[in-house]
Structure 1
Amino acid sequence: MSIPLIAMPQGAEWLVILAIVVLVFGAAKLPELARSSGQALRIFKAETKSLRDNDDSKAATPTAELPGAENTPAAAEAERTDPKNV
């Protein structure tokens, strides 16, 4: 069994981290920092969801129906090795 070199912070470590954050940013800036972090997280989640939705819609569309699919290197290779084209 291996012992991890870095473990998750426990109770006292979180208090030290919180104290350092308060000293660095100041108590007045913490609500603004939390608000902007939450907004950035919401934007990130929305973008990843839209990317996943786009990937799902592309996976449902066969490659032959995609515009420009005949110009891909895989299509050119398939055309060269197709016995019907000889």
Structure 2
Amino acid sequence: MELVFLFIGGPEIFIIFIIVLVVFGPSKIPEIARGLGKGMRQVKDATNEIKREINDSAKNQGIDTDIVADINKEVEQVKDNIDDLTGPIKRNM
């Protein structure tokens, strides 16, 4: 199984790493990585804060925020009904 990240495969990531190494030098790589890590953390924190505000606002307005759980429950019921219907008729893969 090949490593794919944002539609970029392993060889492309390796080439990008080599270019970054040549352009910035080995001494700057840890500093760049720290900066990227901090930036990603800030984006994640901001995203979580927005989600929390949306959920709080929805709860204050009386909107059901557990829709995903309800959908999953319905899907499981349909799967159980199909399993009951097919019974011993299963395909071997």
Give the structure-2-normalised TM-score: 0.53
The one-letter amino acid of 1:27's match is P
Structure 1 match to 2:49: 50
Structure 2 match to 1:9: 9
In the alignment, structure 2 segments of 5+ residues that lack a partner are 1-6, 63-93
Q: Across the two proteins, how many residue pairs are aligned to each other?
A: 56
Matches of 1:36 and 1:57, distance apart in 2: 32
How big is the alpha-carbon RMSD for the aligned residues of Structure 1 and Structure 2?
1.8
Matches of 2:20 and 2:42, distance apart in 1: 24
Secondary structure at the residue paired with 1:61?
helix
Give the structure-1-normalised TM-score: 0.56
Structure 2 match to 1:3: none
- Superposition map of 1:1-86 within 5 A: 8-11=8-11, 13-62=12-61
Give % identity: 30
Q: Runs in 1 of length 4+ with deviation above 3 angstroms?
A: none
In the alignment, structure 1 segments of 5+ residues that lack a partner are 1-6, 64-86
Instruction: Compare the two structures and name the one with the higher strand fraction.
Output: 2
